[in-house]
Structure 1
Amino acid sequence: MKTRPVPNKDRVLVVDSNPDIHGAFRDMLVEDTHAQGKFELDCARDTHESHALMQQSLLAQQPYTLAFIGASPAKEWAATEIASQIWAVDPSVQIVIYAELLDISSDALFEAMGATNRWLKLRTPLDRVEVIQLSHSLTEKRDLQQLADLHDGTHSAAETIANPVDATEINEQDLLRTLLDNSPDHIYFKDLKSRFLKCSKAQALQFGAASPAELVGKTDFDFFSEEHARPAYEDEQEILRTGQPMIGKAEKETWKDGRAESWTLSTKMPLRNSAGVIIGTFGISKDITSLKQTEAALAYHHDLLSTLMDNSPDSIFFKDLQSRFVKISRSELHNLLRLSISRYRAIHPGTDEDALPPHLASVDEFEKYVIGKTDADLYGQDRASEFCRDEEEILRTGKPIVEKSEKTVHPDGRVVWYLTTKSPWRDRNGQLIGTFGTSKNISELKEAERKIEEVQAQLLTAARLAGMAEIATNVLHNVGNVLNSVNVSADLIGAQLRVSKLKGLARSVALMDAHAGDLGQFLTQDSKGKLLPTYLRELARTLEGEHNAITTELGALCGSVEHIKQVIATQQSYAGTPRVVESAKVDELLDDALRMHAVALTRHKVDVVRNYPSLPTLLLDRHRVLQVLVNLISNAKQALSATADKRALITLGAVLMEGPVLRITVTDNGEGIAPENLTRVFSHGFTTRKNGHGFGLHSCVLAAQEMGGSLHVHSEGPGQGASFALEIPVTVPAGSAH
């Protein structure tokens, strides 16, 4: 391998058309106290001068280490052209471009200069410290490379000048350059202070550098946070101290610029010269961030699955295509372990706990035993056959079996019920690889269902009896209201019959029978006989009046009896009998309801105000409306019993609203209703009276609802009376008039 001579000083060539720049570099590199004696500087103004100086340096066996190339006023691309000519003479020179006029991207420079680490772009305006540091870094890198090449001492300096790089060196350099430029891995060489000497293009791109040359002289601390840079530095120093490599270490990289953390798999080894002396380290890091992310995602999902399998109270299981257990939840392991112990003791009665087989000794041992087994191994062939059929059907059709109730009978006779769902198990490619399922113990639910069925049967019986009692109570209540009217009519008829003048007719007939032989003389001559015809005429008129009165009361009595029949029919309608709609006049309907309470209202000195106009004949359920009105008037009368200090008054109103809807109101000035009871008065069984039963208003609401209407109440409070409003839809017959 050909080598280059190592000069006493680093020779630097500055190519710039501006003489002031030459002076600036002399100040920086030659006259600066920190760099004094370390650099020898030559300056050129154009391509011709630089080419001549390059030739002279090779002939003098003092080649240039660095070439700083600035702008040329003649041509923007002069810098890259000068660099190409310099490399044509000496391809080992490190090029630094600092031209202010080169406002081009790094990619364009790569395209012009080639993908190599032997050139870099320096920012402008020039900084003295940066130029000196850069010069030191580049020359130190050159020295290390030349020291490594000195192992071949058979070549003279003249041979080096005549043939700077032979075919073997070119081949190895090309190989290294190709590797560093194209490898996706991060390859790097560092000195004894862990400063970069050379690195791959991928490494430079990761650090955000325009080219690998920009990394020379820098350390991990320039890019990574202390969290990563410090351990990496200590690893490299340990390699330098011990000479032992670090192989395949996963490292988490955290960055100064705040970018997302990354992961690499790093191998680092000692860098030795030909004499075996460690002069640094080199390494290769493979980006495994995506692998770590995938690993973290897998770990996360594994933790989720493990948490589910270990803590779910439900049984969860996975089986392969042969229905062998692949994975099973902890709860199912406990269930199967209890079942297996029960089966074993049924076959081997009297077995002590310590005498159980090893696989039945603990859940962990049993889990090892279960994996790879089938249901037949655990439940027995008879019980397992049903499971097997289900799973074969799932594998055949690819369709799940959802929430199937399954009964398991243990050897000790204990029955356990499960609600099981089984589904096809597919891999990520959709290939069917087995089945999986969940099973929930629903034994308590089954027992609760059984008890609920028993209680439901009892409730149905009780409800039937209660319903019969409620119907009977409502019938008695509503019939009782009408019976008041029946009693009044019966009392009036009885009173009229007791004072009837019919006995006078009997005495008159007896008197005529006594004078049958001389009836004519008796009627014309006898003083009593003369009065008899007049008496009979008056008696006939009296009896006719009695007859009319009794006929009227009998009509009322028949109406009440008919209403009783309709009350019973109404109760039957709640069981499905259709309601009867007929023509009725509202004023007559209200009068009928009042008449049924006429005697009681008179006895309690209740005044009634009729506030309803003459309405047209309407089609409505006459008897249901009458039932509601009778109840409401009865309630109003009872509410007035405690108002001895003021005039007792009931007001009946009726109006036909849009819809058409008939609105009937029954208002009293009685004891009123407390606000908290306004929403309760229609509830079944609710009453505020000592002897009340709470059925009347409830039956009224039911009747209103049966007619498609509603019943409402309003009261300002205790002592302020109350107003009940019945609203029902009606039909006005065609041609009906007021």
Structure 2
Amino acid sequence: MKQKFPFILLSVVAVAMVMTIANAVIFEQVRAEGKRQAQVHVETSLRLFWHLLHSKGKGSYFHEDRGRLLVGSYVINGNSDVPDEVLAITGNRATVFMGDTRVATNVEDRHGRRAIGTKLTSPVYDMVIRKGLPYRGDARVLGKPYVTAYDPIKDASGKTIGALFVGVESDRRALGLKVVAINTAEAAIFLSFGLFVLHIRRRSADAIHKQFRFLQVLLDTIPSPIFVKDRAGRYCECNVAYEEFVQVKREDLVGRTVHDLWPVHLADQYHRMDLELFAGGGVQTYECSVKSAAGTHLDVIFLKAVYRDAAGLPAGLVGVILDITERRKQERALREAQSDLMYASRLAGMAETATIVLHNVGNVLNSVNVSAGIINQCIRSSKAPALRKAVGMMQEHRDDLAAYLSTDDRGKLLPEYLAKVVEVMEMEHQDIEKEIDALIRSVEHIKQIVVTQQRFAGTTSIVEHLQVRDLVSDALRMDADSAAGSGVTIVEDIDEMQEFSLDRARVLQILVNLIRNAKQAVCAREGSGGRITISAGVVDEESLRISIADDGIGIPAENLTRIFNHGFTTRRNGNGFGLHSCALAAKGMGGSLTVHSDGPGSGATFTLTLPIGA
């Protein structure tokens, strides 16, 4: 018995040493695995953090505005909803930094309050803010050890303007307690494991095989060709659709490369794209035209992504081929249809422009007719024949003209008669001169209308420095014939203003149409008389506003939304071109034309608004 004791003691010591070493190894492995799992967890939480913020900003860039950090229109400063959502989902703390300052966080200071306004410290500050690079690993956050993940926040120009943080607090004592618990249960687990290992391996193998078959069936039900390659570019898996695409069975495809399937120029292109994907990672998308193994020319999109092994290194790629041949045909047909539609629209636009020109020229021709009529009346009622008769009488007595003018009864009246004739003819001359001037200005306006409509097809606009009062006067004069005998009273309420840079032809076109429509609305109501008020002034030092209000028949509510539509009219002899062309002209000057009416019998007000300098 005494001989066995040293052996037993030695065995116990040896076992204790082995268990101590094993415990140390297990502790380090558990610690390393715990740290790795924690890092993976915070990495996943950080991606969730990015996703939630981009959802708030609807995919927009981060930017700074007046001392605030925003993503899109979502203000981050002082708004910890997203960090709290990350904490609720993952259990990890989260922070948004603007520059190096916490502006949204659920990390707490020593008083248990949100640590808003505290600073980011080195070495994280140097890596993330100064260099604009991510940081992963252990770091102290307000004096406490954390497993952390930091990403820089960059604006649209690539400038670093802040950072995102997700972390979990390290608890080494808790980790040690876990190791003790593991060691305590180690013996029992070891014994149990020996009994169940064969059974588990068999069930695991069956489950893996069943899962593999399910995935294979799932792949085969997808109609788009799918393939898998290893790091060397060799095919290792595909679905039925890819077999049909390359006309090669799956068992014959495995182990082959693109150079075994495709012509050299295509194989080189595919191989080059694979190498670029392995070098850059992520997802690769590109379009090309291919010829399938069946000889059909196809337009396709390649979608490829790298998959990685347990060490995080590229292990291969998965690719999907999307056939967009039919879509390309439809796009070509759509482009042809759009081209035909544009041509038809151009013809329609030319016809509409011609109609508008004729309508506006017709308005001005009314004033031309008025001027021509007045000139014709002046000529017909001219005193020139009487003057000719008086001159004839003087020529008959040219030999005794002095005696004739002083002694003859008719000769004595001749000088006074000539004076009156001259006075009347001077008045006739002034009237004719005035109407000729009006006629010239009307013809000039017709020319401007034509030039303006020609400019609608281009991008130029000719402006002049003009007084609004003068434009209103010209518009009233051009429409003077429609007011004759109507009994309509026109009131001008125009503020004293400086000259503005305006497109004379377009503004006159609008005013003439609006004044004529207002007179027609007033004359169409029951009873005589009526009133039109033309007012003009500057609004907010930015816009010129000209309003033409009448107390005519008014406009029903259902017509207010379509009164500017091409071809819309309520008059029996109307054509629906005038207001439509006015709205186009206002829009062409960067302004607007609007209408208001309280309904039938309440009159209407049309308002032209133009930016100053239009």
Does TM, normalized by the shorter one, top 0.5?
Answer: yes
Which of 445, 454, 458 pairs up with 2:327?
445
Q: Which amino acid aligns with 1:439?
A: I
For residues 375-428 of structure 1, the C-alpha deviation after alignment (integer angstroms, 9 at most, x for no partner) is 444445565343334335555x44678432221235776421101134455433
Kindly provide the amino acid, as one letter, of the partner of residue 571 in structure 1: Q
Residue aligning to 1:616? 497
2 CA distance for matches of 1:686 and 1:528? 68
* Cα distance change of structure 1 residues 593 and 308 upon mapping to structure 2, 3 Å threshold: farther
What is the TM-score when the length of structure 1 is the normalising length?
0.52
Q: Is the 8 A contact 1:424 1:432 kept in 2?
A: yes
What CA deviation, in whole Å up to 9, does each residue of 1:219-275 have, x standing for no partner?
xxxxxxxxxxxxxxxxxxxxxxxxxxxxxxxxxxxxxxxxxxxxxx9999xxxxxxx
1:31-64 CA-partner distances (Å, limit 9, x unpaired): xxxxxxxxxxxxxxxxxxxxxxxxxxxxxxxxxx
**Deviations, residues 483-506 of structure 1 (Å, cap 9, x unaligned):** 211111111111111121112222
How far off its partner does 1:632 sit? 1.0
1:607 Cα offset (Å): 2.6
Query: Would the alpha carbon gap of residues 404 and 562 (structure 1) be closer, same or farther in structure 2, given more than 3 Å must change?
Result: same
Which residue of 621, 638, 641 corresponds with 2:520?
638
In the other structure, the counterpart of 2:239 is 329
2:558 to 676, 701, 710: 676
Contact 1:376/1:384 (<8 A) preserved: yes
Counterpart of 1:620 in structure 2: which amino acid?
Answer: S
Deviation at 1:653? 2.0
Listed as ranges, the matches of 1:171-186 within 5 Å are none
Provide the secondary structure at the position in 2 that maps to 1:323: coil
User: How far, CA to CA, are the matches of 1:404 and 1:473 in structure 2?
Assistant: 50
Which residue of 390, 398, 403 corresponds with 2:273? 390
Q: Structure 1 residues 403, 463: closer, same or farther in 2, change over 3 A?
A: farther
Give the residue type in structure 2 aligned to 1:569: V
1:664 to 1:442, Cα distance in 2 relative to 1, 3 A: same
Alignment TM-score, normalising by the size of structure 2: 0.62
CA contact (8 A) 1:398 1:424 kept: no
Q: Deviations over 1:703-726 (max 9, x none)?
A: 333444332211112232211122
| Equivalent residue runs for 1:203-222 within 5 Å | none
Structure 2, unpaired ranges of 5+: 21-187
Which residue of structure 1 aligns with residue 462 of structure 2? 579
Distance 1:656 1:394, change over 3 A: closer
Distance 1:727 1:695 in 2: 20
| 1:463-487 superposed Cα distances (whole Å, 9 cap, x missing partner) | 3323333332332222222221111
Q: CA deviation at 1:283?
A: 9.5
Larger mean Cα displacement after TM superposition, 380-389 or 439-448: 380-389
1:588 aligns to 2:470 (yes or no): yes
1:695 to 541, 558, 577: 577
Is 1:724 aligned to 2:598, yes or no? no
- Displacement of 1:546 in angstroms is 0.3
Tell me if 1:601 matches 2:511: no
Whichever residue aligns with residue 617 of structure 1, its letter is: Q
- Counterpart-to-counterpart distance in 1, 2:589 and 2:250: 70
Structure 1 unaligned regions, length at least 5: 1-162, 184-264, 269-281, 341-365, 732-738
> Closer, same or farther in 2 for the Cα pair 1:321/1:623, shift >3 Å?
same
2:172 aligns to what? none
Q: Is the 8 A contact 2:482 2:516 kept in 1?
A: no
Q: Does 1:489 align with 2:359?
A: no
**SS of equivalent to 2:484:** helix
How many residues are treated as equivalent by the alignment?
445
- Once the two structures are superposed, the pairs formed by residues 134-173 of structure 1 within 5 Å of their partners are 167=4
Q: In the aligned structure 2, how far is the partner of 1:601 from the partner of 1:467?
A: 33
Larger-gyration structure (1/2): 1
Letter in 1 for 2:333: K
Counterpart among 229, 245, 248 of residue 319 in structure 1: 229
2:445 aligned residue (533, 553, 563):
563
Q: Does 1:542 align with 2:424?
A: yes
* Alpha-carbon displacement from aligned partner over 1:256-313 (angstroms, at most 9, x marks no partner): xxxxxxxxx9999xxxxxxxxxxxxx99556999999999998999699657633444
Shift of 1:659: 1.1
Could you say what secondary structure the match of 1:664 adopts? strand
Report deviation, 1:629.
1.3
Query: Do the aligned residues in 1 keep the contact of 2:547 with 2:606 (CA within 8 Å)?
Result: yes
Q: Does 1:464 align with 2:346?
A: yes
Tell me what 1:309 maps to: 219
SS at match of 2:311: coil
> What SS does the aligned partner of 1:541 have?
helix
Give 1:419-434 correspondences, 5 Å limit: 419-434=301-316
Cα 1:367/1:548, change in 2 over 3 Å: same
Q: 1:625 to 1:297 in 2, by over 3 A?
A: farther
